[in-house]
Structure formats: C-alpha cells, structure tokens
Structure 1
C-alpha cells in the first residue's frame, strides 16, 4: 500500500471542505471525478432509460450481451454521471462488459421513492433491450449501494427476475444510523460523518419511516437474493453498515463475499487513477462479476 498516495488524497479533501450550499456540494462531488480523464478507447453514449437520463460506457472488447447497472453515491442528494464516469468505465473494463449508469432523481427536490423508481426503470430498460437477467450485474456505491439493495427487494415484490449478482462499495444501508463505527471511525473518515448522514437521511426520507426496508434494506428479508460482493474501507464511518449487512445476508443464506480494505476511506474507488488500492478493488469487483456471469461463481 502507498501511504503517500492516500495522504495526498486526504490532504486534497481537507483543502476542499464540504460547503453548506447544496449546489456547491453537488459541484464539489462532480469535481472529484472531473479531474480524471477517460482512456481514449472508452466510448460514452447518452440514452434515456424509460424516462431516466442514463449513460453507457464501454470499450470495443465489452460483451454487448452483458451489462452492469451502476447507481452512484452522493447521499441521495449529490453525485451524477460526471462524478462517477471514470469509475463506471473502469468497472466495466474489469468485468468485460458495458456499464449503464443512471442519473436518478435526487433529494430534496425528489425524495423517496423517486430514486428507487428510477432504479427500477433502469433495470426494466435493460430487460427490454433483450439483456437476460442472468447476464446483468447490479452495483451501487454508498447511498447507491443501499439503493441497489432496495431495488432487489422491489424487484422481488414486483415478481421480476433478479440480476445475477450484486456489487456494493461502501454501502449505506441503514438510515436509522445505528452503526457503531459512526462514532468510532469519525476521526479517520475524511468524507462523511454522522451529522452529515443525518442531514442526508432527513432530506431523502421527507417523513418516510427510516426503518422501511426500501430505505434501510438491512432491515428487510434478504432471503433468496443473488450473490453479493461487499467492499468497505476500514477508515469509514459506514464500516459497521457493511459488516452488519454481511451478517444479515449470510444469516439469510445469501452467498456473501466481504472485503474490508485496510486504511481505505469512504468510496476510495473514486480515486483509483492515483490510488493502487482503488484499482485493485475494481479488479476484484470485475473478477467477481465475470465469474458469476460466466456461471463459475455459482454457490
């Protein structure tokens, strides 16, 4: 591990503290991704997925019969195609497929269940394009991780076939904020805090019950869900969300692969162009997705 790489990222984040204004917050997160240039062989195609703005990224080597549906992070209030485009492109390259990312609606303008409705629309779009569910992987980072898991629960309710596997990075799956590491990791997480998460949760919920499985999917019945990979850094306030999710899913007989990356901060995949652990985590995610879409990852 390169401590110097991580310390440079920490210093840059400290030099650009989170502003109070919502528009400025969104611009700050977009700026984290705007600093990175896509490789020249990556193609980007804007589409509309059943009314939801979306974007395909891929390379000539990507298998057109397979897809990764990606839900970005940002606490349901920020994040965009621009902020995570470089992550989507690298994840698709590692998995050997195209990535469809959704610009789902954000709070406070569009509170729950708007984001969930858009995620379901994105999945239905893939099915309508003729991509078989066993050739689809679903992924989400941070709030997008919780949204991805809630999407699976909603697909089950709707009687729709699930994707083949699920990849969650730094997932936020409990809007009741019950995780112990919200306090114990507060001093080492440079991106998020309990107070900030409480603000985000209030905006997204807009009066909805935080214990509902569709906003806090760790509270739901996870039995029968597809195999999942959970990646989390040891320096995250959301570490306990990931640990508890792995326990709840495992107890429900869901095949779970849990990876705790030492010293890594929240959503460290964002910094993969300059952080080896970010690239290694994306390679691991790509390998997980490939193995399951190939059938080799069957439990």
Structure 2
C-alpha cells in the first residue's frame, strides 16, 4: 500500500486531469446542462428499465396542507415562502437483467412486461429509492443507470429512481416533496401502479452528492412528521402511518449549503470543484433563460435565508438527535464536503445509529443496502480510511478532522456568517472562461 503522501499526490494528479476535462462542460449554461443530462436514453445490456408515473393522489391538497404545517417549526423563524405543490412524478425501475448481453437494446415490450420480467429476475425484496446527484439542476434516472444497475445487481433487488423536479425553476422543497410522494406511493400504490405495496423494512434510501442531501432531507422530514405531526398522513383516501426506511446509504452527500466547514478550503487541492463558490455563482458562468431566476436569488436551489433550513443544510437537522434511526452508510473522500459529512455522521452515531463512513466502492455500498434489509439490527459502527490505491481495502482507523463536539447552535451561527456574504447572482460580469 502506498504511503499517505504518495496517495495524496496521486489524487491531486487525477483531480487536475478531471478539472481540465470537465471545465468546458460545467461552464455550459444551466438550461443546456439540464437538457443534456436529464434526457432519457434507451437501456442497453443486462439491465431492466421499466418506466412509469407515480400519480399525485386526489386528496393532494390534504398532503400539501400537512407539509405546510410540518415545515413551520423547522423554519426557525425564517420568513421564506415555499411552494408545496404536489405533482405526478416520472420514475424508472431498474434491476439486473440476466438475459441481457453486451450492448443489446432493451426489449420492445410494454412497461408492464418489463416490470414483470424485472420482478422475475430479482432475488431479494430490497428496494432502493435512489435520488440522483447533479447540483439540484442536472441529471435524471438515465444519468445514474450504471450506478443503480450495479446496486441492483449487488443487492439482488431493484432500484427506483424518480425524475424529481429540478432547480432553478423548481427550488426547494419541490424535489423533497417529489421524493416524499414517491416514498408514500411505494407504501401505498395508486390505481394502475406496476408494483404492489412495499414494506418500509425493505426500502433503503440512497443517493450521491446532491441526491444524498435529498434522501437525508426526506428522512429528516419523515422523522419530523413522526415526532411532531402525529406520525400519520392522509394519502389516497387513507390515514397512513409514516414508517422510517430500513437504512440510508449515501455517497459524498451535500450536507451544508453554506460551505461553512474548513474542508472547503483545506481539501481544495483534492476536489474537482476548486472554486470557492459554486460554479453557477461564478462571475464567468453564462446566463440563460432559466438562470439567473427572475427575480434573481443567491443560490440556484433556494434563497439565502433558506440555506440554513435544516432540510437544506441537513448537517444541522434535528433528526440526528433521535434514537430510533435506521443504520446509515456515508462514503466520503478527501474532498471539500468531508467535514460536513463527518459532522453529520458523528451526530448520527451519538444517536445510537449504526453509522458507517466507508470508501467510494459499490460493493460495500451494495452490501450495506442488502444487509440492512436482510439482517436488521446486526450492523456495527465502522469508521475506516482507505488510501487512493488501497485496492485490497485494508484501510486504517479514521480520525475525524472536524470538531464533532461543536454545538449545533454554534455551527448554525457560522452558517449565518457565510450566508451574510452571499450576493444575489444577476448574471455574468466577466466573459473569460475559467
């Protein structure tokens, strides 16, 4: 195994190469990035993909009213306004297709037949509700198909990937509301749904980057409803208990929208996003018909005041103080988001959750998703660090680089200081590329 210094040098070299390749792509207009990354593409090879729609319930006004009431105590005195519109959500079921070979195109059969074929190929009851990443404004089910196929194959189960509403046209909480509808629809399907009801004990929330934030936000919302809103919602004409999932599995989740942790500076040499501010806030970033918004705002996902909402910057969500949480898997690297992920993980661990901080590896990720369903209550805490070339995953004990004893109120004040420096983005002020 290489020394830590050698591994870090290798990581910096890889990072520099990626930055050079990605810069032209990441500095394309928001509307162009969204169009390219969110479009659906035909599936090829050993994968089942069944497309369907989860319809909003006829009593969606009651669900909306419940969400409005649930959000009030979470807003911490803020004066932001939120749109809780409930809309239909396009989704894609994904699983390993044993008969698929190479780049063979997907079969030309109905979506129901594809779903039936998918169900015959799975070997476990695991359902992974997966939220794709993409800065909240790019991506879609097809953009993470390779990842969800790998997870489905590793678990023997199936993934469900929603095409949730994207910013900037649909700011927070639209994406979280969509995931909430999808989760409730898994528990209680609508008429004409392809699937039968799924037990919460068979469901794992998963996501990468901003998608990791969204599933953590969804979980925090569920916990808040259980603790402060009676734990029940009216959905599709019935009073439905809101259970927690079997587990949560995330890759490098975005936990602090204010970028208040030190790793945003200390880990800059190892992160492909080397800039101090988000790409879409750079003075060289091009404007388009969707960004900046009208009226302009300070962030593509929400306004400045909402950046410290506990369902946006989930590191400070009250859910991590609860003691009845399911196991959680967090994979992080030596990146700008590291400290905020450690901070959240330690808060989870102290709430008696079986937390794990592990490397970016699909096998470990998939094993976690499989075992929280198959063997609930048996996972143990694990904090392990791996060098970049540690291909055998021997690892070493992990030391947290952030003060995890810091009080949430102290962290919130630091977040407020960062927010105070945010400026409304009104369009590019420079024409040169980075």
TM-score normalized by the length of structure 1: 0.82
Q: Of residues 9, 18, 21 in structure 2, which corresponds to 1:15?
A: 21
Q: Are 2:247 and 1:165 aligned?
A: yes
> What SS does structure 2 have at the residue aligned with 1:233?
coil
Q: Are 2:205 and 1:138 aligned?
A: yes
**CA distance 1:288–1:134, change in 2 (3 Å):** same
**CA distance 1:195–1:6, change in 2 (3 Å):** closer
Q: Are 2:106 and 1:26 aligned?
A: no
Q: Of residues 51, 54, 74 in structure 2, which corresponds to 1:49?
A: 54
Q: Which runs of 5+ in 2 are unaligned?
A: 56-87, 98-120, 189-195, 226-230, 232-241, 282-296, 380-434
Q: How does 1:177-256 map to 2 (within 5 A)?
A: 177-191=259-273, 193-196=275-278, 199=281, 202-221=299-318, 222=320, 223=322, 224-234=324-334, 236-256=335-355
Report deviation, 1:16: 3.2
Q: Does the aligned pair in 1 maintain the 2:15–2:271 contact within 8 Å?
A: no
Q: Who is 1:78 aligned against?
A: 138
Q: Does the aligned pair in 2 maintain the 1:95–1:290 contact within 8 Å?
A: yes
How far apart are the structure 2 equivalents of 1:292 and 1:44?
24
> What SS does structure 2 have at the residue aligned with 1:14?
helix
How far apart are the structure 2 equivalents of 1:10 and 1:126?
42
Structure number, greater radius of gyration: 2
Q: Does the aligned pair in 1 maintain the 2:131–2:214 contact within 8 Å?
A: yes
| Higher fraction of helix | 1
Q: Does the aligned pair in 2 maintain the 1:152–1:225 contact within 8 Å?
A: no
The worse-fitting range, judged by mean Cα deviation, of 45-54 and 191-200 is 191-200
Q: Does the aligned pair in 1 maintain the 2:131–2:212 contact within 8 Å?
A: yes
**Alignment RMSD (CA, Å):** 3.0
Q: Does the aligned pair in 1 maintain the 2:43–2:49 contact within 8 Å?
A: no
**CA distance 1:7–1:64, change in 2 (3 Å):** same
Give the aligned length: 276
How far apart are the structure 2 equivalents of 1:167 and 1:197?
26
Report deviation, 1:209: 2.4
**CA distance 1:242–1:5, change in 2 (3 Å):** closer
> What SS does structure 2 have at the residue aligned with 1:195?
coil
> What SS does structure 1 have at the residue aligned with 2:357?
strand
How far apart are the structure 2 equivalents of 1:206 and 1:112?
9
Q: Who is 1:268 aligned against?
A: none
Q: Who is 1:98 aligned against?
A: 158
> What SS does structure 2 have at the residue aligned with 1:293?
helix
How far apart are the structure 2 equivalents of 1:257 and 1:164?
15
Q: Who is 2:368 aligned against?
A: 288
Q: Does the aligned pair in 2 maintain the 1:49–1:122 contact within 8 Å?
A: yes
Q: Which runs of 5+ in 1 are unaligned?
A: 262-277
Q: Who is 2:172 aligned against?
A: 112
How far apart are the structure 1 equivalents of 2:19 and 2:158?
30
